[in-house]
Chain A
Amino acid sequence: AQSVTQLGSHVSVSEGALVLLRCNYSSSVPPYLFWYVQYPNQGLQLLLKYTSAATLVKGINGFEAEFKKSETSFHLTKPSAHMSDAAEYFCAVSATNTGNQFYFGTGTSLTVIP
C-alpha cells in the first residue's frame, strides 16, 4: 500500500526566503510522486511530478523537488518565496500496483509574510 505524510500543516516564510515543504512517502514498489498547488477557491494544479527519469524535478513557478529514495522523501523547495506562492500544497503518490488510485497527503498551507 502507498501513503504520504506531509510534515507541518502550516508553514510561514518571509517574502524572498527559502520555501521548504516536506513530503515523505511509503510505497512497496517504485512510486510516482506529485506535488499539487491549490489557490483559494480553485482546483488543484499540478506543480511537478517525479517519474524516475531524474531525481531533481523542476516544476512551474520556480518550484523544484528532489526524490531521495534512501530517505523516502520528495520535499518541495523554492529559493525565494513570492507573495503569490501563498496557497495549499499537496503531495501525492501513485504506483503501478495501485491501479488508478492516488494517495494524497493532508496538505500544507503556505503563508508568505511581506
Chain B
Amino acid sequence: DTAVSQTPKYLVTQMGNDKSIKCEQNLGHDTMYWYKQDSKKFLKIMFSYNNKELIINETVPNRFSPKSPDKAHLNLHINSLELGDSAVYFCASRHSDIYNSPLHFGNGTRLTVT
C-alpha cells in the first residue's frame, strides 16, 4: 500500500533514555515533516526536510535531532528523554512543488516517558 509509515507505534521508556522513531513514505513526495501532538490534541510542527535538506527547524530542544538519509525517510532521534516529551509524534509528507498538495500523515508514535 502507498502510505506514510512510522515505527514504532508505541514507545514506553524511562527518563534519561535515548530513543528513535522512524518514518518512511512511498508516495514519491519530496518533503517530510515531524509534528508533535500534545494531550490537548494541539499540533506543533517540529522539523521539515525537502530532498534531505532541513528547511523548517522550529523552537525545539536540541535533544531532538532529525535525520533524513534520503527523501523517502525521515527519522527522529531524542536524547535524554524527559517527562514532557510524552506525546504523539506524527510524520507527514507532501509534494513541495504543488502548492495545494496536502499533507499525508502517518498513524503516529505514542511516546510515554516514565
Do B108 and A42 touch (CB < 8 A)? yes
Count of A interface residues, CB-CB < 8 Å: 25
Chain A residues with Cβ below 8 Å from B48 are 100-101
The chain B residue with its CB closest to the CB of A30 is B99
Q: How far does the Cβ of A114 sit from chain B's closest Cβ, in whole Å?
A: 24
Chain B residues with Cβ below 8 Å from A96 are 99
Contact with A along B70-114 (1 / 0, CB 8 A): 000000000000000000001010101001101111111010000
Which residues of B are in contact with A by a Cβ distance under 8 Å? 4, 31, 33, 40-43, 45, 48, 50, 55-56, 90, 92, 94, 96, 99-100, 102-108, 110
Q: List 20 A-B contacts (CB under 8 A).
A: A32-B99, A34-B103, A36-B105, A42-B108, A43-B90, A44-B90, A44-B92, A49-B100, A51-B100, A88-B41, A92-B103, A96-B99, A99-B96, A100-B50, A100-B96, A101-B56, A104-B43, A106-B42, A107-B41, A107-B42
